[in-house]
Amino acid sequence: MAVAKSGSIIIVGAGVFGLSTALELKKRGYNDITVLDRFVPPAADGSSVDISRIIRSDYADPIYSEMAREGLEGWRTEYKDQYYESGFALLSETANNAWIEKSKAVIKALGGHIDELADASELRKFYPNVQSNLSGLNGYHNPRGGWADAAGGIQKLASRCSVAGISFITGPRGTVASLRKQGSRVVGVNLVGGQCLLASQVIVSTGAWTNRLLDIDHAASSSGQPVGFIQLTREEARSLDSTPVMINMSTGVFCFPPTPGTNILKLARHGYGFANEVTLERDGKPESVSSPKFESSNAESGYLPDDAEESLRQGLRQYFPQFADRPWINRRLCWYTDTPKGDFIIDYHPTLSGLFVATGGAGHGYKFLPVLGKYIADCFENKAPEELRQKWRLLPQQGPKEKGMAGDGSRAGPPLRKLTPSEQAKL
């Protein structure tokens, strides 16, 4: 049933999915919208935060590529103060990387321009300041792409929501412990302090925490991906001016140019990550899922498993050999919401009325910030093309649950590894 525009809507989660949905629904005339989160956006341990996210239209899937091209126009205009068009280089240690080849074909088919790199050292023709060890690598360069100030983009989006008249409740009074149900209908949320908030419609946009609220382990899981930061001097940072975002599609490790102002260098890995197993009670029975911590920030400890730290250190040696031994000023696990094919989950719940789900960023959702809300609202109002509705549908579980969430084929590096109890205790 269509949701009345006068009805109350609770959106759980103030990341890119929740905030973009809130703003677009407000534009469409829904007047009673409240966003709940554990933290004021940008949430300290969300996947939409810290200093940078890749902005690219490079996809093996033409649907996401077209969406990203549309989003790029938003970054170049409405969010231009948060966007840096540094260029983007996709590199591989093996010839004819399948995902790179598909992405090249999609970019060309959509009329985009790329520079093929049979020898990745040719990248220096476009960026003389690149000091990376590129021997043995190949791939391509896309000049239309770069990176965004992740926290800055979320701050701007949250501010626009606030100015538009959207309400925010954060901290314990905005921390949702469970969904409140009457039979098969969701009528609101239960908060950690014991209170409840009622609403005509609940939208769950809780990213890597979604499995704690919903039994959708067959469709989504959570994995921690390593991120590290090092501090450069102003002079060191200037030596890397006008260099691109680069990713090694054979290891999954990617890097950004130094952040203007702070001169911080960031590396991360787009891989299969680490599972943090927690036990929940569902229907009176214990069940194990992978999820970040809920009670406190996952960004506080600065802990990385030893093998994760070493993978980033190897990336530092490759991309920035002159800083190979520079200590990390901060490290953390960034929590992805993995899905089997890397597709978003944007759909009404198949068995619970009054509940809409917008999650499953799968490590690539942030770049769509300027346009994501439009696509989510179209699904919410049953206006989206059938192809998208099917692509993002939340289907009930059929058969055994997925054993892995491999994504769209763009990830690399070691397979998913479950953290040991001693590692979990350090998170």
**Which pLDDT value is given to residue 258?**
98
- Decide if pLDDT at 371 tops 80: yes
State pLDDT tens for residues 411-421.
999 999 999 99
CA distance 245 to 213: 36
**Which pLDDT value is given to residue 405?**
84
- Decide if pLDDT at 373 tops 70: yes
- Decide if pLDDT at 2 tops 80: no
Q: Phi then psi for 297, rounded to 5 degrees?
A: -70, 135
Q: What is the mean pLDDT of the chain?
A: 96
What proportion of the chain, given as a percentage, has pLDDT over 70? 98
CA distance 18 to 14: 5
SS3 98: helix
CA distance 175 to 390: 31
CA distance 365 to 340: 15
State pLDDT tens for residues 160-214.
999 999 999 999 999 999 999 999 999 999 999 999 999 999 999 999 999 999 9
- Decide if pLDDT at 398 tops 80: no
Average pLDDT over residues 399-427: 89
Query: DSSP label at 135?
Result: T
Confidence of residue 402 (pLDDT cuts 50, 70, 90): low
State pLDDT tens for residues 118-136.
999 999 999 999 999 999 9
Confidence of residue 103 (pLDDT cuts 50, 70, 90): very high
- Decide if pLDDT at 288 tops 90: yes
Compute CA distances 274 → 284, 341, 380, 400, 420, whole Å. 27, 18, 32, 22, 10
Give me the CATH code for the 8-424 domain, please.
Answer: 3.50.50.60
State pLDDT tens for residues 62-76.
999 999 999 999 999
What proportion of the chain, given as a percentage, has pLDDT over 90? 95
Confidence of residue 3 (pLDDT cuts 50, 70, 90): confident
**Which pLDDT value is given to residue 404?**
67
Task: Say which residues have a Cβ less than 8 Å from residue 148's Cβ, sequence separation at least 6.
Answer: 52, 53, 55, 75, 79, 82, 83, 84, 366, 367, 369
Is residue 24 within a helix (H) or strand (E), and if so which, with residue range?
helix 16-27
SS3 278: strand
- Decide if pLDDT at 1 tops 70: no
State pLDDT tens for residues 316-350.
999 999 999 999 999 999 999 999 999 999 999 99
CA distance 27 to 217: 33
| Residues facing 281 on adjacent strands | 286
Compute CA distances 191 → 42, 45, 197, 406, whole Å. 20, 20, 8, 33
Average pLDDT over residues 217-231: 96
**Which pLDDT value is given to residue 326?**
97
Average pLDDT over residues 402-407: 74
Burial class (CB in 10 A: 0-12, 13-18, 19+), 233: exposed
Would you say 49 and 43 are in contact if contact means Cβ atoms under 8 Å apart?
A: yes
Confidence of residue 220 (pLDDT cuts 50, 70, 90): very high
Query: DSSP label at 300?
Result: S
